[in-house]
Copies of this chain bind each other. A is one copy, B any other.
Amino acid sequence: MENFRIILQKVNLKVTNARLGVLELFARSQKPIDAEEIFAYLQKEGVDADRATVYRMLETFYEKGIIDRFEFQEGKFRYELAGSDHHHLICEQCGRIEDISDCGINVLEREIKEKKGFLVKRHALEFFGVCESCQQ
């Protein structure tokens, strides 16, 4: 997966093992992951990066727009590769996280600008509830 190098070079970040490893994990992951999961993954892969390095990496990636950041009422952040405007269904019983795509909120954002003068840069929309299989 050599395109990870390109992603990093595009935003003027040096290519390191730790960074490649983290990007690889992000590409594999189907749902938003947290710093601890990343740290554990790197250890397992023998990359051994310090926790501080992981946190600094996440901050850098976030600032550069490589990843998105979310909060699911857990008292910590989760991240995933930046991409389309999509949101999450978080099952409060099994913790499963499902995606839903574009929510038609752009209309609302335009309204907010007109009525309140507030310029929306981004929004967070998460749904908490019970997934299908937990309802049985």
Residue A123 at the chain B interface, CB threshold 8 Å: yes
Q: Which residues of A contact B (CB under 8 A)?
A: 69, 71, 73, 75-77, 89, 91-92, 98, 100, 103-105, 108-109, 112, 116-132, 135
Q: Check B123–A128 contact: CB distance below 8 A.
A: yes
Docked complex Cα distance between A124 and B89 (Å): 11
Number of copies: 2
Q: Check B98–A121 contact: CB distance below 8 A.
A: no
Docked complex Cα distance between A99 and B133 (Å): 35
* Nearest CB on B from A110, distance (A): 12
Q: Check B122–A129 contact: CB distance below 8 A.
A: yes
- Dominant secondary structure of chain A at its interface with chain B: strand
Q: Check B128–A116 contact: CB distance below 8 A.
A: no
Q: Check B121–A123 contact: CB distance below 8 A.
A: no
Known: A71-B71, A71-B73, A112-B100. A129 touches B124 (CB 8 A): no
Q: Check B116–A98 contact: CB distance below 8 A.
A: yes
Docked complex Cα distance between A62 and B130 (Å): 19
Chain B residues with CB below 8 A from A123, complex form? 125-128
Q: Check A125–B122 contact: CB distance below 8 A.
A: no
Report which residue of A91, A108, A127, A132 has the largest number of chain B beta carbons within 10 angstroms of its beta carbon.
Answer: A127
